[in-house]
Structure 1
Amino acid sequence: MKTICKSDYGTCEYGCKRGYWGERCLFECPANCLHSDCHSDNGTCRHGCESGFYGSSCLSECKIQDAMCTDCITTCDRKYGGCISCVNGYFPDLDHITNTRCSECKKTCIDQKCDTKMGVCLMGCVNGTWGERCEKQCSESCLVCDKQTGLCERCVHPAIYGPRCDLVCNSNCVKKECDWSTGICSLGCEVGYYGNKCHNSCSFTCLNRTCDRETGSCVNGCIKDFEGDSCLQERRYGTDSDSTSPVGTIVVVVSVTVLIIYAAVTTVILVTK
């Protein structure tokens, strides 16, 4: 900056260098002016105030207006315009009808710790709440929900599941319990059922109605007259002795016995004659 002054009164021709103001640039800018810069003609701060002050000359402290405020804004008419940063444990709350004031961090923030400018919970939310400030309630059936979406990450009871914990586990699950996210039975199936969610019935021809949880094949074999992995094939009896039907065997035995008795009776009759 040129350091030329008028010869008559000694007033500075081109204004003052940074940090000074007045006709002869004899006055220092207010100490709280940002960058120590003020207008040469009236000494008002050119770029605003240092943190914690407001007003045209940045002479007023923000904490006079709000004890928890560490920084505030100056309005166009050079007045207090509300807090924009607070001490630890507080945040600028926009919910106030007039100027933004510092409010306590939400009690739903873990350890009640939040960002001092935005109020965002720093350590996350306590169980049952979600949102940036943990101000929203999870579904009643959620034990924990996602901080951003509110979708359930765990359910309050092992018999329900789904992103909103509003689905019921299959009644064929052991104790009716299933995985909260997939609905897959956690403890297996009740006797007579199989599949991840135990939707499928074991074959009625499985011995003891017991089958493999994944495949449905009969683990203890089949009931009488059925065969195959799932005991769905009716056993066919052939002519070989090892495949003869028990019923056929009885018929043959009875027939032979009748013939023997008949022959014996006939013999006795002939002899007596």
Structure 2
Amino acid sequence: MKNTDVPILRCRSNPGSTTSWIVTLVLGLLVCSARFISSTEVNGTHCVRPYDTPPCDCKVGWYGDKCTENCSSTCSSGYGCNKTTGKCVSCKAGYHSFNCTLKCPPNCLNESGQPAACDKDTAHCTNCQPTWWGSKCTNKCDSNCKNGVCDFVNGHCHECEVGRTGENCSEECPSDCWRRLCHRDNKTCTGGCTPGYFGETCDKKCGGNCKEVECTVNGTTDASSKSMCARCTGTGQCHSCKSGYWGDICDKLCPEQCTECAQNNGTCGSGSGGGSSSSSDRITGHREGEIAGSVTAVILLVVVAAFVIYLVKRTRGCNSLLGRCRGRRQSEVDENVMKNLAQSSGDNTVEV
């Protein structure tokens, strides 16, 4: 007999028949118990209200008209599945598909030790492991990306490895950038230039007469020592010149009498670097020569003056009209004059 065919007994008040009232009560209890047992067998024990007419409202984790089907174990706990189709509302981390039975792609990002996460229906990763990119993280980041890391959507490098530039770090920095460091967008050198070059991209050579400088600091050649290595400024002006040259780009020769001269004006003896001692020796010798010449000139003047005075004194005893001296012949006078002149010159000779 179906539960719908169980007669509904109505209790009637019949104060004159106590026995009848008790019989009616017992029969009612029996009918209600039969209905409960019958409905449980029909709907199963996972209905929220087992005695409801099918389909009943299922408890979380169950589905079907009678709530007898179990939702997939990889459906998110707490959400269960559709009560009619069994489709998971959402999946546990690391799974996707209709009933969450397929694993997410292996390179999807997993956080805090949890399985990789992806979209339930498309399997697209919500993010990728650092060195992978693409909707399902199947593409490897370029090796020129710093540490191999790139944007997981388009694969563009966040930063480039040293010596690389460009949108995807596929180009090289200018070869004469210091330690190959350059700006990613415009290739300008960010760490200065290698010795002997200048300019924004270090594509210009310093003058050939710029002096080479020590390129190490405490035995190293790291970036902090680049200013010590530069031969010229960013505009091409030499920091110092090689011996024998001066000027902003060291294109002018020092005066002949010196091998070192000041870079700003060419003055002798004011240059920097070796060779200053030879320049000083040359200048000293030049001054000694000037002094010797001056002494010789003074001596000659003294000799001439003495000769003139002598002639004046001797001619006072001679007849100017006859051309003869008293008591002497002209030849004797001339002979004596020559002797005195020779003696005077010998006495005043100065050794230089």
The TM-score bracket by the shorter chain reads 0.5 to 0.7
Amino acid at match of 2:303: T
Equivalent residue number for residue 24 of structure 2? none
1:258 and 2:311 correspond? no
Paired with 2:132 and 2:314, the residues of 1 have a C-alpha distance of 120
Please tell me whether the aligned partners of residues 162 and 180 of structure 1 are also in contact (alpha carbons under 8 angstroms).
no
Residue identity in the other structure for 2:54? Y
Contact 1:45 1:57 in 2 (8 A): yes
**What is aligned with 2:242?**
190
Counting only pairs closer than 5 Å after superposition, residues 1-273 of structure 1 correspond to structure 2 as 3-4=48-49, 7-9=52-54, 11-12=56-57, 16-17=59-60, 19-23=61-65, 25-35=67-77, 37-41=79-83, 42-48=85-91, 50-51=93-94, 53-63=95-105, 69-70=107-108, 71=116, 73-74=118-119, 78-81=121-124, 84-85=127-128, 91-93=132-134, 102-109=138-145, 113-114=148-149, 117=152, 125=161, 127-130=162-165, 134-142=169-177, 143-146=179-182, 150-153=187-190, 157-175=194-212, 184-185=230-231, 188-192=240-244, 204=255, 207-211=258-262, 218=270, 253-270=299-316, 272-273=325-326
Is the contact made by 1:30 and 1:45 (CA closer than 8 Å) also made in structure 2? yes
Would the alpha carbon gap of residues 5 and 134 (structure 1) be closer, same or farther in structure 2, given more than 3 Å must change?
Answer: farther
Are the equivalent residues in 2 in contact too, given 1:162–1:183 (CA < 8 A)? no
- Give the Cα–Cα distance (whole angstroms) in 2 for the partners of residues 25 and 161 of structure 1: 81
Q: How far apart are the structure 2 equivalents of 1:258 and 1:115?
A: 100
Is this contact kept in 1: 2:240–2:263, CA < 8 A? no
Deviations 1:211-260 (A, max 9, x none): 489xx882658897xxxxxxxxxxxxxxxxxxxx9887766554433221
**3-state SS in 1 of match to 2:307:** helix
Q: Distance in 1 between matches of 2:304 and 2:259?
A: 39
- Of structures 1 and 2, the one with the larger relative CO (CA 8 A, separation 6+) is 1
> TM-score w.r.t. structure 2 length?
0.45
The alignment covers a number of residue pairs equal to 231
Q: Deviations over 1:19-49 (max 9, x none)?
A: 4444555444333334563444333333455
Q: Say which structure is richer in strand.
A: 1
Structure-2 separation of matches of 1:5 and 1:136: 71
Q: d(CA) in 1 for partners of 2:70 and 2:78?
A: 9
Q: Which runs of 5+ in 1 are unaligned?
A: 94-98, 225-244
Kindly state the Cα deviation for residue 262 of structure 1 after the two structures are TM-superposed: 0.9
8 Å CA contact 1:202–1:211 kept in 2: the answer is no
Whole-angstrom CA distance in 2 between matches of 1:251 and 1:182: 54
Q: Which structure's residues are more often helix, by fraction?
A: 2
8 Å contact from structure 1 (residues 169, 176) kept in 2: no
The answer for unaligned runs of 5 or more in structure 2 is 1-47, 109-115, 216-224, 233-238, 284-290, 318-324, 327-352
Distance in 1 separating the partners of 2:213 and 2:107: 54
Q: Flag the 1:59–1:259 CA change in 2: closer, same or farther, 3 A.
A: same
In the superposition, the TM-score normalised over structure 1's length comes to 0.55
Contact 2:107 2:136 in 1 (8 A): no
Distance verdict in 2 for CA 1:218–1:32, change over 3 Å: same
Structure 1 residues 82 and 201, CA gap change in structure 2 (3 angstroms): same
What is the CA deviation profile of residues 186-230 of structure 1, one whole-angstrom value per residue up to 9, with x for unaligned ones?
8953125579x76697985994333489xx882658897xxxxxx
After superposition, the CA RMSD in angstroms is: 5.2
